[in-house]
Structure 1
Amino acid sequence: MPLPAELAARARDVLAGRVQPVPARNAATVVLLRPGPQVYLLRRKSTMAFAAGAYVFPGGSVDVRDADQAVAWAGPSPAEWGAAFNTDERLARGLVCAAVRETFEESGVLLAGPGPDSVVADTTGDDWEADRLALIDRSLAFADFLARRGLVLRADLLKPWAHWITPEIETRRFDTRFFVAVLPEGQRTRDVGGEADRVVWQRPAEALGLARRGEIFLMPPTHRTLSELSQYDGVGGVLAAPREIVTIMPRAVEIEGEMRLVTA
């Protein structure tokens, strides 16, 4: 894809060594699914510094407290997640906790339950909303939130899907692991505001069609993920699909005098 003039100029500076890339922050993204399959998408506010106006999946940066070993845990161990994402155990723990925390913050859906085989049935009460807001402003740590409510994080409800790193030419960069998860029975998403001004449930192929017609904007990782998901007839196929996690970092190249971003 062609780069805007300002970003193209920065790309030339980075490629020439005149500007050093900024470090990428560790982050987690969750592709939330429901039968159809449909995916949950948020439109980021036009005032956001990163990906303004883009339709994205819930997600965000890893909080240093997300790696707290006090979190009650069910499912694949942090070591197993580390193997899946080719990272160390501590970061893997943080990524999984960030995935569950950010999903709750940005959709109201909580992948946790009173025990290793259960999930919270409803998170729409005022007390849940107060906790969600406290997690967002970081006055409440995720481990403390789970402990106070006697909840177990359900790592087994997540599936590793992809690993994307923001191109080196960007001024804000994220090293993001993608997960997929199915909306738990009894729970429902809510229009929780914050960084988004619109939320939708949409079939992957429909979202891709809207993007093709210029009606919505999708960033490359979102577009690629939706393209992959559009190949499946249901959530069962998505969850059963074998995945080899390969790191993807789009890069800037100059083609016939025009700076373009490529993922190959």
Structure 2
Amino acid sequence: MNPRPFDAAQDLADAPRVGGAQRPKDAATLILTRGEKRPEVLMGRRAPGHVFMASKWVFPGGRIERSDFTAASNGALSPDVARRLEAEMPARRARALALAAVRETFEETGLILGRAAPTASVAGPWREYRQAGALPDLSVLSYVTRAITPPGRTRRFDARFFMAPVEALRDPDRIEGSGELDEIAWIPLEEAQGLDLPAITRFVLGEVAERLETPQRPLPFVHMVRGRHVIDHQD
């Protein structure tokens, strides 16, 4: 497999170094896809006032919350996804990251990835999702990429990028943004590369295109070692 190129210079320009030492926070992103002949991905543009990646087009996602460790689900991670995640972390944390991707997508777009279930009254970030009458289905997720924000940035994340098809959504036409993304749209893959994107998002878009053709690709891990960007791969 030929390694996919990564624009390291652009990555540093996306979030300039401001100094200080921060540990990366666990985060998860969900890439929703639809269509076979002309695949599209769901993306949103971050509002201009954001401290991190303002006005950039990204996938829905955000950091893990404590409630993600205990949230209920209907459908476990596939054996392949569980194996890859659990090579990096305990199973409980792996499941929580997958749930964070589902929750953040719901919060930012209103889209529900899950199965119908009785409404439930729970406290915290999962309240509105459960009141909508659904439980997350983690079995539809595939694990696409891992990336850690370079040191010295205002925000640092150890982000896992998941992917799922539009068929996994309960009501794919009901997009209701929360305001964090000021525009949300299905965008053809070949057009998405022309948007104002963070370098990591551009890299992941290319990986998505490859993975739609060859699902069992090695998993890329983008991180910085001794001041240089490195891409490792996990089978």
> What is the TM-score of this pair, normalised by structure 1?
0.70
Which amino acid is the alignment partner of residue 222 of structure 2? I
After superposition, the Cα gap between the structure-2 partners of 1:202 and 1:141, relative to the gap in structure 1 and judged at 3 Å, is closer
2:202 is the counterpart of 1:201? no
The count of residues paired between Structure 1 and Structure 2 equals: 215
Instruction: Look up the match of 2:34.
Output: 34
**How far is 1:247 from its partner?**
2.2
Cross-structure match for 1:21: 21
- Counterpart of 1:83 in structure 2 is 83
1:49 positional shift = 0.9
Give 1:221 deviation, angstroms: 1.5
SS in 2 for 1:172: coil
Deviation digits for residues 221-245 of structure 1 (CA, Å, limit 9, x no counterpart)? 210111223347xxxx35x611333
Alignment counterpart, residue 172 of structure 1, candidates 129, 149, 155: 155
- Helix, strand or coil at the partner of 1:249: strand
- Give the Å deviation of 1:149: 5.9
Supply the AA of the counterpart residue of 2:72: V
Q: Is the 8 A contact 2:74 2:115 kept in 1?
A: no
The residue identity in structure 2 corresponding to 1:76 is: L
Note the C-alpha offset of 1:80.
6.4
Gaps of 5+ in 1: 11-18, 121-127, 211-215, 254-260
Distance in 2, matches of 1:76 and 1:231, equals 22
Paired residues for 1:73-222 under 5 Å? 73-76=74-77, 81-85=81-85, 86-114=88-116, 140-142=124-126, 145-146=129-130, 151-184=134-167, 186-208=171-193, 210=194, 216-222=195-201
2:215 aligns with one of 241, 249, 255: 241
Using the TM superposition, name which of 43-52 and 150-159 deviates more.
Answer: 150-159
RMSD: 3.2
**Cα deviation per residue 1:176-225 (whole Å; 9 max; x = unaligned)?**
000001113642241414211112211122121x2xxxxx3211221011
Say if 1:71 and 1:143, in contact at 8 Å, map to a contact too.
Answer: no
In structure 1, the residue corresponding to 2:105 is in which secondary structure?
A: helix
Highest CA radius of gyration, 1 or 2? 1
Inter-partner Cα distance in structure 2 for 1:250 and 1:217: 23
TM-score (norm: length of structure 2):
0.77
Extract unaligned runs of 5+ from structure 2.
1-8
- Match status 1:229 vs 2:224: no
Partner Cα separation in structure 2 for residue 74 and residue 65 of structure 1: 18
Q: 2:16 maps to which residue?
A: 7
The Cα shift of 1:29 comes to 0.2
Identity of aligned residues (%): 28
